[in-house]
Amino acid sequence: MTMQVEKFTATFGARVTGVELASLTDAAFDQIYDLWLDRALLVFPEQHLTKDEQKAFANRFGDLEFELSPIGNVRKDGSLRANDESDRVVQILKGNEGWHYDSTYVEVQALATVFTAHQVPSKDGQTAWADMRAAYAALDDDLKTRVEGLSAHHSLYHSQRKIGHNPRAGSGYGFDDQEPPLRPLVKIPPETGVPALLIGRHAFDIPGLSEKESEELLQGLTEFACQAPRVYVHDWTVGDAILWDNRCLMHRAHPWDYSEAREMWLARIAGDPLTESGVLEAG
């Protein structure tokens, strides 16, 4: 098969066909890797990866941050979770509906994610991504200069409490008892050298600004960034696999009717501690 690439009309992303992710040659993987660095998000339709195949493909990019994880309202026994916000899993699903990067609230930010669709609802439940490289490039010069000198803390406690939930310490990934990492508002991945805004729902408390000033700046940046042509929304089909760069894309889930199954599986690739670590000190 010959790999075919259809670039999206958004500022990023591409649909890739003519490849089988479960049996890539080294040369084909190198092509995909270079394309991923350029386009940041790659959609591979009709892959139908098994869980082991998904892990193996993700491992070609590096070690996994944690074992393959289910995302959705399908329990292990196949029953469906109710849309009940007292359920901690549902709380996280609701939180994921806000624009965010993965793992900015732990010491080492994730490199990338491979996401697959196993069951999808008849409507809704899409996933959207936003290009933070293009967003930074579109800022006016004065705002670029301002944000280049600022950092923000990142916390899953903060982002969940902001939507009315009250998580407990030790109640799951991201709820460890540690100071929230401090990360610059402008991130420059070493492989590309292309600056990107590092913001999203987990970001708060910019040192040197009041709480109100910090919130207004972060909210304004998010609203500016997450607009066409910098956004791509994917309607899932069973068998889809999507790879994205967590160093320059934010994403969010769209809500759906919990009477229908949405079963996705996530393989998150760990970041390099030398380049993806935040400062674990308040202030």
pLDDT score for 168 = 76
Q: What is the pLDDT of residue 252?
A: 98
What is the band of 189 on the pLDDT scale with cuts at 50, 70, 90?
A: very high
- Measured CA to CA, the distance from residue 44 to residue 27 in angstroms comes to 17
Answer yes or no: is pLDDT of 1 > 80.
no
Whether residue 175 has pLDDT greater than 90: no
pLDDT tens for 190-214 read: 999 999 999 999 999 999 999 999 9
* More reliable by pLDDT, 174 or 12: 12
The CA distance from 179 to 113, in Å, is 25
pTM over 0.85: yes
User: What residue spans define the domains of the chain?
Assistant: 4-270
pLDDT digits (tens, 9 = 90+) for 13-52: 999 999 999 999 999 999 999 999 999 999 999 999 999 9
Q: Which of 198, 251, 271, 243 has the alpha carbon at shortest distance from 34?
A: 243
Distance of CA 251 to the CA centre of its chain: 5
Q: Which 3 state secondary structure label does DSSP give 271?
A: coil
What pLDDT shows up at residue 170?
66
Give 107's Cβ-side CA count (13 Å radius): 8
Q: For 53-108, write each residue's pLDDT tens digit.
A: 999 999 999 999 988 999 999 999 999 999 999 999 999 999 999 999 999 999 99
Q: Would the pLDDT of 171 be above 70?
A: no
Maximal CA-CA distance, the chain: 57
Domain spanning 4-270, CATH architecture: 4-Layer Sandwich (3.60)
Torsion of CA 248, 49, 51, 80, to 10 degrees: 90
Please say if the pLDDT value at position 262 is more than 50: yes
